[in-house]
Structure 1
Amino acid sequence: MLDLYTPGTSMLHRMSPGPKMAALAIAATALFLQESLLVTALAVVAILALYRVANIPMKTALAQIRPLMWIFVIFFAVQWYFSGLTLAAYVVLRLAALILLASLVTLTTRASDMIDSMTRALRLFKPIGVNPDKVSLAISLALRFIPVLGRIATEVREAQKTRGLERSIIAVAMPLAIRAIKMADDVSDAIESRGYRS
């Protein structure tokens, strides 16, 4: 259910999951360390270019962030009010870049390959009590959580729209929160059912 993999033969599809996830971690860290609006905007353009390299339509790329637009609007308004237009644009673009980049990894990587790669890497920490299987599964599911949550948000918004409640933040947020908690419970049950105990 949480595997968002889109089949393809592009360079990104063929790339090993390890380097892709390492690049994701490095890029995400770099985005947080720099504070330039121009650099952040260029990063978004570069990430969208990578979607083209992966032969993933722009429609699919935009679909990763469209369900979260209302969150972007809230973030933008709050940051603009307290810190100014430039910082507001920077914060929203950085968040969009992170979501697009994480989504690109999940769209071009099978869930099983990602879990296997993380499990191998985490075995180095097994002597200090880390359970590689449990941690890698949790991280893999977390990478998929935001795009799936976005799709749930779209479903909830459409359902509330038919009731004339699409303008009510509470009417949209409460069902979304409940479904997110239910998903978290399902993930926890799945981890425990596989015997991944700490």
Structure 2
Amino acid sequence: MLSLYRPGDGFLHRMPAGPTMLLLAVVALGLASLPSAAWAAAVCAAAVVVAYAASGLGMRELGRQVGGLRWILAITAIGQLVFLGPEPALANTARVAAALLTAALLPLTTRVDDMLDALERGLRPLRRIGMDAERAALLLAVTITTVPVLARLAAEVREAQRARGVRPSLRAGILPFVVLSLRHADQLGEALAARGVR
């Protein structure tokens, strides 16, 4: 499975996978539940900057993650601006960005194997109602790692457009992005099938 893990010695790297997932989920949900007011955007920005600085990943990695989410954030901001106005658009886009950037910290600071083990342990009590804990853990781990992968693919499309001398745009980049995303999904499916996951 593709790993986005960045070695480091920040507090998230040192935390066990289970508490890390719980902490980041609580932070992401807390930021996403802020009201649609301008001050919420400032709170979201400050929280994300502090999280990346304290995690040891730094501002360069934060910039890379924001760059990867640029199109998602642009579409969100435009839609919100058209239907709700400037202040809610700013706050709602900041909340979406903060939740996604906080979620991206998990695969960057926690190894996939550790995530799978923690999810499996956490879901084990649900076996009583017929849930396959191993399969559910794998599904959740793949879902968690998908956001940064898609952000990286979007960045690759933009870089390829620039290399060909084409100005990056959503209209010109959507088809290559979809093709790369589907190719990644096929490769992931083949890798899982090769390991006996059906």
- Shared fold (TM-score greater than 0.5)? yes
Partner of residue 51, structure 2: 50
Answer whether contact 2:28 2:103 (CA < 8 A) is retained.
no
CA distance in 2, matches of 1:36, 1:169: 27
CA distance in 1, matches of 2:69, 2:194: 32
Partner of residue 110, structure 2: 109
Would the alpha carbon gap of residues 50 and 169 (structure 1) be closer, same or farther in structure 2, given more than 3 Å must change?
A: closer
Residue 25 (1) aligns with residue 25 (2): yes
Structure 2 counterparts to residues 140-151 of structure 1, below 5 A: 140-151=141-152
Would the alpha carbon gap of residues 134 and 193 (structure 1) be closer, same or farther in structure 2, given more than 3 Å must change?
A: farther
Moved more, 37-46 or 79-88: 37-46
Would the alpha carbon gap of residues 61 and 168 (structure 1) be closer, same or farther in structure 2, given more than 3 Å must change?
A: closer
CA distance in 2, matches of 1:173, 1:196: 30
TM-superposed CA distance for 1:159, in Å, is 1.3
CA distance in 2, matches of 1:103, 1:49: 14
With normalisation by structure 1, the TM-score equals 0.89
Deviations 1:39-89 (A, max 9, x none): 343133122112211221201111112122133223212211211001111
For structure 2, which runs of at least 5 residues remain unmatched after alignment? none
Partner of residue 181, structure 2: 180
SS in 2 for 1:6: coil
For structure 1, which runs of at least 5 residues remain unmatched after alignment? none
Answer whether contact 1:122 1:136 (CA < 8 A) is retained.
yes
Partner of residue 162, structure 2: 161
Answer whether contact 1:115 1:140 (CA < 8 A) is retained.
yes
SS in 2 for 1:64: helix
Residue 152 (1) aligns with residue 143 (2): no
Partner of residue 4, structure 2: 4
With normalisation by structure 2, the TM-score equals 0.89
CA distance in 2, matches of 1:156, 1:106: 22
Residue 81 (1) aligns with residue 114 (2): no
Answer whether contact 1:64 1:99 (CA < 8 A) is retained.
no
Identity across aligned pairs (percent)? Answer: 37
Residue 171 (1) aligns with residue 189 (2): no
TM-superposed CA distance for 1:34, in Å, is 3.0
CA distance in 2, matches of 1:133, 1:4: 21
Partner of residue 14, structure 2: 14
Number of equivalenced pairs: 197
Partner of residue 138, structure 2: 137
Would the alpha carbon gap of residues 10 and 87 (structure 1) be closer, same or farther in structure 2, given more than 3 Å must change?
A: same
Structure 2 counterpart of 1:92, which letter? T
Would the alpha carbon gap of residues 51 and 31 (structure 1) be closer, same or farther in structure 2, given more than 3 Å must change?
A: closer
TM-superposed CA distance for 1:167, in Å, is 4.4
CA distance in 2, matches of 1:132, 1:185: 24
SS in 2 for 1:3: coil
Deviations 1:110-164 (A, max 9, x none): 1111111101111111222222122212211221211111111111112123334
Would the alpha carbon gap of residues 42 and 109 (structure 1) be closer, same or farther in structure 2, given more than 3 Å must change?
A: same
Structure 1 counterpart of 2:100, which letter? I
